[in-house]
Structure 1
């Protein structure tokens, strides 16, 4: 496994010149996918995002330098838990951020709760994280398996889409996405005409797309992410499905995915995202700094790491403590406001109540600059997509 550590030095020179002594570092671990199918949307970029958050906080909190450590969980729950235990027990890490893949995130959040530490989950979105497995020190920052389908299907229904076919990965995340699509389709008076699942890393989606084509839907909803999602769309283009007027609604699509396949093949596809770099002056400012280090703008998941670490550090300062439970309480109390998330709050179950953006992939003619890939169709308010009441399966929120 690959592990790295770095003290973010922004502001440290002034602190040293003041003559004050340092305490032990406050450590934040970025546990991510550095080499798998979603590494482009998290990975090194998530580490950079965390470092930018630390830099914006001045590099020091409560008289302690802030240190970022990182590791690749290799998409394996056992590897992720081994790293997290070492971080908590031996390296005295105070919080873990990112954690893509739901099965890994659930284990990390449970472990963090047991250790009195903070889990900042921006890379995973199973409902269980703020449902039956919710934690007083766990937070679901960027997306979940209810919000993405709801936003995408509601918007498509408004434009006349009635018949849906759902494809996705054959594990809990994909299953939850499938059920969520079915629920919203029913709510909008539509029809679910079929579903198909495939394992992560499938090399050919021809059988899924043939089944979809035979069902004659108005749209295919895909919850495949990363390289898997790109390959499915590539296969759909090769089959001529888009040319035949079938709509592809990708429930998880990032600008890095569009970059890898190209606007000519991706044009017209709809998706929902928590962040797009070219939304306003603040997002463009953040993207510029991020791009200077990464060579491209941040994904929504990487922006989620920045936002969650930023809010965590604000809460540490406000609480005057690094105690996990005390910081978590302050995180719930404080509003979320940063360059990537202008206005949000945390629900009692740990879910961040945030607006989402429905976007459409531009055509090559519409794109005017590098990474100018999405046009914003509409902003969907948190209240449209998420109930005010916490998840009833979260016992913490009902006590």
Structure 2
């Protein structure tokens, strides 16, 4: 334990011994701590990474730096994409540093484990991504899904491409929970829209050679080769599909999740024409542009939907704490569900009983180099899909908080 932490604990014990008035004064001087657990150095560091902490710090600064008369402190930790690392750090934060809210932007397995932990500890948790189980059978009265989930990605992209003529689908999916769930959800949407799945293949996480997977897909002659993976895996698959000539004929390569950081990493020459679903694009509105340019000043990168969502969720949490007049999680969550989300990220967003923050989603397409007017002018928003249409209906939720 660090000396600074030990001193704080001893001071707290002395304050309690001195009497309730001194204890209250001591507590008032202590910061309100909130934390982010993200992949800071691995395959997903570009789409989340240190930018999550930057976005949260910006929200704290814009809020005024204090809540309930106490300074606000942001902590950030690397999950290393390991469930045990994410949960042990979160437990340490809660037990030893009294962290009140934890935001996760890492992987679905860590998200589910953290949702369980924060429910036990009665602390607010926010997930800027993750599996739909977070708002279904494993929902929590203290947990929220903020930017996107698997259902919305599958629903928007799957429906748009199938209705646009992509009737036969072949999936290249990451061989872990996220990839499997994304394939399953998309397949349902495709079949409901009149399409069919003609084949699928799984690949290991952090794959570098997609040749055999792409050849398998090519042999099925589908209308759509769907990539149910993320980050570097998606970039590698698109790059090799282009080398194989799979993006120039009737077949469309469709990444089921793509971030601005992926498009930037591939370049417009490679990524041009890709159609995908996003919760945020930096240049969509004057408000999103203004905030994103501020973010860029700090990171020298434009924000992804996870990073923009982290700001939105942090600001909404602080507003709810102020409205509740307490850090007590049940009271804060009541305010988070009551207050609409209106910011550069979304308009009239609403946190439901199952924890889903329902908001508009966007069908985006990567520009050609000729269409782009600058290094970050990468996307065209083709369609806006209302939150009620993009996300699963509350009546279909298996969340006990809804059914009870």
d(CA) in 1 for partners of 2:172, 2:130: 18
Residue 154 of structure 2 corresponds to residue 146 of structure 1: no
Give the Å deviation of 1:127.
1.1
Selected match of 1:29 from 8, 22, 35: 35
Residue 119 of structure 2 corresponds to residue 113 of structure 1: yes
Per-residue CA shift, 1:117-150, capped at 9, x if unaligned?
A: 011111x320111111100000011111111011
Per-residue CA shift, 1:24-63, capped at 9, x if unaligned?
A: 1111101000111010010111111101111111111110
| Alignment correspondent of 2:353 | 348
Selected match of 1:334 from 330, 335, 339: 339
| Alignment correspondent of 2:190 | 185
Contact 1:356-1:382 at 8 Å conserved across structures: yes
| Alignment correspondent of 1:174 | 179
Give the Å deviation of 1:206.
1.1
Larger Rg: 2
Contact 2:48-2:306 at 8 Å conserved across structures: yes
Give the Å deviation of 1:390.
4.8
- Match of 1:146, SS? helix
d(CA) in 2 for partners of 1:319, 1:131: 27
| Alignment correspondent of 1:213 | 218
Contact 1:286-1:340 at 8 Å conserved across structures: no
Aligned CA-pair RMSD: 1.2
- Match of 2:100, SS? strand
Residue 383 of structure 2 corresponds to residue 378 of structure 1: yes
Contact 2:139-2:354 at 8 Å conserved across structures: yes
What pairs up with 1:255-270 in 2 under 5 angstroms? Answer: 255-270=260-275
d(CA) in 1 for partners of 2:70, 2:396: 36
d(CA) in 2 for partners of 1:291, 1:386: 30
Point out the structure with the larger helix share: 2
Contact 2:105-2:306 at 8 Å conserved across structures: no
Residue 95 of structure 2 corresponds to residue 95 of structure 1: no
d(CA) in 2 for partners of 1:170, 1:393: 26
Residue 310 of structure 2 corresponds to residue 305 of structure 1: yes
| Alignment correspondent of 1:60 | 66
Give the Å deviation of 1:244.
2.4
Q: Which moved more, 1:378-387 or 1:24-33?
A: 378-387
Per-residue CA shift, 1:355-391, capped at 9, x if unaligned?
A: 1000000000000012111111011111222244255
- Match of 1:379, SS? strand
- Match of 1:67, SS? strand
Selected match of 1:134 from 131, 139, 147: 139
Give the Å deviation of 1:98.
2.8
Contact 1:349-1:390 at 8 Å conserved across structures: no
Give the gaps of 5 or more residues in structure 2: 1-26
Contact 1:46-1:302 at 8 Å conserved across structures: yes
